[in-house]
Structure 1
Amino acid sequence: MTAITDDLPARLIHQEHEGWDALVRGDGGTHFHHAMTDDAVLITPGSVVERGAVMAALQGATWDDYAMSEHRVVRLGERAAVLAYRVRASRDGAPVDLRATTAYLYHEGRWRVGSHQQTPVD
Structure 2
Amino acid sequence: MAITDEALWDMEKRLWTAPVDECEDSVADECLMVFGQAGILDRDFALAGMRAAPRWASLEMLDRKLARPGKTVAVLAYRACASREGAANHDVLCTSTYRGADDGWKLVQHQQTGA
* TM-score normalized with structure 2 length: 0.85
**Which residue number corresponds to residue 74 of structure 2?**
81
Distance 1:64 1:11 in 2: 20
Residue type of the alignment partner of 2:25: H
Question: Aligned-residue CA RMSD in angstroms?
Answer: 1.8
- Deviation by residue 1:9-53 (Cα, 9 ceiling, x = unmatched): 21211111221221xxxx22x244301111101111251101011
Q: Structure 1 length as normaliser, TM-score?
A: 0.81
Residue-by-residue CA offset, 1:68-88 (whole Å, 9 max, x unaligned): 121111112110010111110
Indicate which of 39, 60, 63 corresponds to 1:70: 63
Distance 2:22 2:41 in 1: 16
Alpha-carbon distance between aligned partners in 2 of 1:58 and 1:12, rounded to the nearest angstrom: 20
For 1:68 and 1:42, the matched residues in 2 are separated by 18
Report the residue type matching 1:17 in the other structure. Answer: K
Question: Residue 42 of structure 1 corresponds to which residue in structure 2?
Answer: 33
Consecutive aligned runs of 4 or more in structure 1 exceeding 4 Å deviation: none
Partner of 1:20: 16
Structure 1 residue runs of 5 or longer lacking an equivalent are none
For CA contacts below 8 A with separation 6 or more, give which structure has more relative contact order: 2
The answer for unaligned runs of 5 or more in structure 2 is: none
Matched position secondary structure for 2:7? helix
Aligned residues: 112
Q: Structure 1 vs Structure 2: percent identity of aligned residues?
A: 27
